Amino acid sequence: MDQELIESEARFEAYVESLSEVIGHADRVEPLEDYCSGLLLPLERKSVEPLAAAVAPDRVSAKHQSLLHFVAQSPWSDDRVLTKVQDLVLPSIERGGPIKTWIVDDTGLPKKGKHSVGVARQYCGQLGKQDNCQVAVSLSVANDVASLPIAYRLYLPKTWAHDAERRGKAGVPADVVFKTKPEIALEQITAAHDAGVARGVVLADAAYGNDTKFRTAVSALGLEYMMGVLGSISLWPPGQEPLAPKPKTGRGRPGARLRRDQEHQPVSAKELAMGLKPRAWKTITWRDGTNAPLAGRFAAVRVRPAHRDQKLSEPRPREWLLIEWPKGEAEPTKYWLSTLPGTTKLADLVAMAKQRWRIERDYQDLKQEVGLGHYEGRGWRGFHHHATLCIAAYGFLISERETIPPSGPGRRAKRKALGVPKDYRPRGSADPSGAARRKFNCHSQAAPRRPARENSTEVPMLWQGPE
């Protein structure tokens, strides 16, 4: 093994050792390292049993029980581990520049059956349709070179939140009540703000941005945002605002709330966009794509959000309305509201809005590379523990490749693994011989066992070049 690979293995050992400082009991250190190491292997499936067979091929049953207890039952803190991952990885990311954005999103994990915690028929982005799935809300921090999830929580539909029997079987904590996705995201943002995480512009799609309470609460924390909204959202066009409260007449009290009348009404974002003059639209290139620069036609105007402002005594502050209207389309396709300064250039508004592509890369890598959606348990704790460990493994890859996406070329070629026993098979699979022995038939190779500790001459093999 060359020196570079040996040093990489040493960094992995140091990384896991640092994580072990917040994991609790010393007997959790070994399964922590085994689990993270297994998640980095080129396995087809990264649920508990294949991980056990990969990291301990000569004692699969015992290792399976150890990892299963660690991920499904052991009461270590997801928040403390994610905070530690953040402490370890953010310095690597920030060497490429300061944190620019906090990205809110949710992801769907397809799931069969009805007993896994939070599973319900709901929209699943991975499938692009309504289907049985679990949905988790996350918050990532990002700059121009990388991003890292720092919070991750399962969305619990009302059918689960109000069902005591299902909650009990899945181990849902008593203090977990129904919250909308924007409410979960706001809790994550507030926690990051209170913890002093390097500030960034909050980015979110229309599922969050169309929620006026969510946008208002983000602003109340002193954070700027760039959020998608629907074309139906109501706005006061440039130069307009609601009527002032009704003045005092006679002995009555003066009015306290803003007003509208039949001639003085807000318009929808779509109406406003369709009425803009041709010179308002500019072609903007926001970044280089795989095959060609990514560009589109945009316009931006200063507006005031108008949602239920009749209940307010002061007009809402002016914001940017950013609109995308691709050539050839009959109408605009995307809208954003932003509290970035009024002096912000159109190209900078567009570049900020398009930074959400990084969360799509996060989820792609977390699912395809480290097995985010592979957990097969049904409980609340196991769901979150598995996700936390996936983020930890992903964080190590980011720290190793500060400017290269974790799914970049050559990644899988640098991992080598030993074969699992020929006489082992997963639980529940058919036994061709009819014997009671368990066998494992795996198309992927398994990982080497953990490098020996003291007094050993065994060489660590986390990174191994192609044969």
Higher local confidence (pLDDT), 267 or 407 = 267
The SS3 of residue 137 is: strand
The domain ranges of the chain are 206-240+263-358
Segment holding 235, helix H or strand E:
strand 234-236
Maximum mean pLDDT: which of 1-10, 97-106, 353-362, 412-421: 97-106
User: Cα–Cα distance between 11 and 93 in angstroms, integer?
Assistant: 16
Q: Are 100 and 201 in contact (CB under 8 A)?
A: yes
Q: Are 36 and 45 in contact (CB under 8 A)?
A: no
What DSSP designation does 421 have? P
Question: pLDDT tens, 434-466?
Answer: 443 333 333 333 333 333 333 333 323 333 333
Query: Who contacts 292 (Cβ-Cβ below 8 Å, separation ≥6)?
Result: none
pLDDT confidence band for 411 (50 / 70 / 90)? very low
pLDDT confidence band for 9 (50 / 70 / 90)? confident
Amino acid at 323: I
Look at residue 260 in the predicted model and tell me its pLDDT. Answer: 84
Q: Which two tokens stand for residue 78?
A: 């997801």
What DSSP designation does 268 have? E
What average pLDDT does the segment 181-193 reach? 98
93-97, 126-130, 227-231, 459-463, range with the lowest pLDDT = 459-463
Within 233-363, strands assigned E span 234-236, 267-268, 282-288, 293-305, 319-324, 334-338
User: Cα–Cα distance between 267 and 350 in angstroms, integer?
Assistant: 23
Q: Which two tokens stand for residue 286?
A: 């926001």
Identify the burial level of 290 via C-beta atoms within 10 angstroms of its C-beta, where 0-12 means exposed, 13-18 middle and 19 or more buried. Answer: exposed
Question: pLDDT tens, 111-124?
Answer: 988 899 999 999 88
Question: pLDDT tens, 42-69?
Answer: 999 999 999 999 999 999 999 999 999 9
The SS3 of residue 36 is: helix
Q: Give the residue among 349, 367, 352, 364 at the shortest CA–CA distance from 405.
A: 364
Q: Are 31 and 66 in contact (CB under 8 A)?
A: yes
Question: pLDDT tens, 319-369?
Answer: 999 999 999 999 999 999 999 999 999 999 999 999 998 888 889 999 999
End-to-end CA distance of the chain: 11
pLDDT confidence band for 1 (50 / 70 / 90)? low
